[in-house]
A and B are shown apart, each in its own frame.
Chain A
């Protein structure tokens, strides 16, 4: 045994293992190659966003005469000021702030709404016994198989009948029911030991007390992870806002952008389109990057 270990150690030394935790069999040269490949990979992955940023700092004339310079231009303040505060960057008479506000309301509404109703229904299904419990569980579960795309027209008709076109309710509520969040919370609740519930009950805590003082604090990490995923989900919605908004002042920024470029002609203010594009990209990217730890954990663990 000791001999075998000695041999392995010898082999490791022979293969160039170092004391810094590097793996056996990966020579320093191939680590350098890996770094080079990764830097190239990042250049490709990040380039479209960088390109848009560069374009947003140039004048309209520069953009229309390709190739675009690789470095940001001098129009950064002019363009961003004009898009944010000038009258020219308006899309169908709506300023960028309204669009950003709409997107924020929709993304937050979907994220928070989904978390609340999923917490409640998962709580009921795990911590209570009542007739039809499993029927309800399956009713929720099957919605996994009914994305908006397969029921576009009839859902639109429901929205018209309920007068929900061009309302925040219409943009948010139909998207907050989904099985994934409920399933995630159910899975997590099932790992909570029954002794904890028993102890709470012996101490005289009712269901509300248990939920508020024990379950919620325990679910903090899961809620944070889910919040990031759902915020991105809400911010990047496309088909749904396209269907349920007609008025320009109810558009999300993604839909408004698409309208800006679809009327593309000689008069399109491309430099302002690029600024708007950056404004639509930056908030969700910030959320993902700043909350990276929870986001990655939530994504990989829930396999959403």
Chain B
């Protein structure tokens, strides 16, 4: 490729990037550097003095049983949400790939949850399963199940997982449909002529060829469950009952804004930052790979 033709201007390009750089500097780099700085400070309870304590905050945070609990909660929540959202979406995408008529109709109805805010998704599921007025809570109780997500931690976890996964089905569905369309039909038909049944074709041809899409979605869903589900947890359980649904992001918010433990909250922020960097790195390695194969 020949070198790009460009405009010979000296000042203009700086003016063009200035707005984005200004906002990025003020609202991204400055606060992020403050978070790192504060994570090495310890404030007294009145917020009057602060002293440099090195990595003490990290040591304390990582040995805090509440933080360890929060790591476990996040792990369970993330894995369950990602698997559920992806499994349902993959199943529906495979079904849509089989039909001839009505694809657009199904797709239109399938993308609704994408537009629903996570917090509202949580509220919708809470309405249905609220122990005092939810229809499904009523049905569960009639069936003899003792259902009360406001008191039972496992049930609360189940509720937020289902709500979080529900909201993500649309997104995964669209990507799986696109992924399935990219698989050469001749390959699948050849296997059919050789006598492979539908189930066998799925597991030996379609599923392996979908691997890039699946892996991409796995990263996206993990990021989603980590960060974008704050609204669901805040609106439905508030981290409770007990600390049974307190994820890492919720804990940063809670320690910083509600309990006002600045040093600990900052240290937690820095740990989260490391996790995001790792996730982004994985995502971009994958994107490169896909370009290579594509």
B102 touches which of A35, A262, A285 (Cβ 8 Å):
A35
Q: Which of A78-86, A87-95, A148-156, A219-227 contacts B (4 or more CB under 8 A)?
A: A148-156
B99 touches which of A35, A152, A238, A303 (Cβ 8 Å):
A35
Determine whether the beta carbon of A41 is less than 8 Å from that of B95: yes
Residues of A near B230 (CB, < 8 A) are 149, 238-239
Closest CB of chain B to A219's CB: distance in Å? 15
Residues of B near A55 (CB, < 8 A) are 127
Q: Mark B76-101, 1 if CB is under 8 A from A, else 0.
A: 00000000000010011001101110
Closest CB of chain B to A234's CB: distance in Å? 10
**Bound form: Cα–Cα A207–B27 in Å:** 30
**Bound form: Cα–Cα A281–B167 in Å:** 13
| Chain B residues touching A, range | 35 or more
B53 within 8 A of A: no
Determine whether the beta carbon of A128 is less than 8 Å from that of B34: no
**Bound form: Cα–Cα A294–B124 in Å:** 28
Determine whether the beta carbon of B28 is less than 8 Å from that of A289: no
Determine whether the beta carbon of B115 is less than 8 Å from that of A287: yes
**Bound form: Cα–Cα A269–B262 in Å:** 38
Q: Which of B54-62, B63-71, B252-260 contacts A (4 or more CB under 8 A)?
A: B252-260
Residues of B near A237 (CB, < 8 A) are 117
Closest CB of chain B to A235's CB: distance in Å? 7
A101 within 8 A of B: no
Taking CB atoms and an 8 Å cut-off, the chain B residues in 218-238 that contact chain A are 227, 230-231, 234-235
B41 within 8 A of A: no
Residues of B near A258 (CB, < 8 A) are 119, 123, 234-235
**Bound form: Cα–Cα A66–B9 in Å:** 70
Q: Which of B4, B17, B280 has the most CB of A within 10 A?
A: B17
A71 within 8 A of B: no
| Chain A residues touching B, range | 35 or more
B211 within 8 A of A: no
Determine whether the beta carbon of B135 is less than 8 Å from that of A68: yes
A42 within 8 A of B: yes
Residues of B near A176 (CB, < 8 A) are 23
A147 and B9 contact, Cβ closer than 8 Å, known pairs A15-B193, A38-B96, A158-B26: no
Q: Which of B106, B123, B137, B230 has the most CB of A within 10 A?
A: B123
**Bound form: Cα–Cα A258–B119 in Å:** 8
Determine whether the beta carbon of A15 is less than 8 Å from that of B192: yes
B115 touches which of A21, A140, A288 (Cβ 8 Å):
A288
A177 and B23 contact, Cβ closer than 8 Å, known pairs A26-B198, A121-B17: yes
B151 within 8 A of A: no
A51 within 8 A of B: yes
Q: Which of A20, A25, A51, A287 has the most CB of B within 10 A?
A: A25
A136 touches which of B21, B30, B91, B98 (Cβ 8 Å):
B21
Q: A31-B98, A152-B252, A176-B23 are in contact. List 18 more A-B contacts (CB 8 A).
A: A8-B193, A23-B189, A38-B106, A41-B92, A46-B109, A49-B124, A64-B132, A117-B20, A117-B23, A118-B20, A120-B19, A151-B28, A152-B257, A153-B265, A207-B12, A232-B114, A281-B115, A303-B216
A-B contact pairs, 8 of them (CB 8 A): A34-B95, A124-B12, A146-B276, A149-B230, A153-B35, A154-B35, A210-B7, A258-B119
- Closest 7 A-B residue pairs measured CB to CB? A25-B192, A238-B231, A236-B117, A154-B31, A154-B34, A124-B16, A177-B23
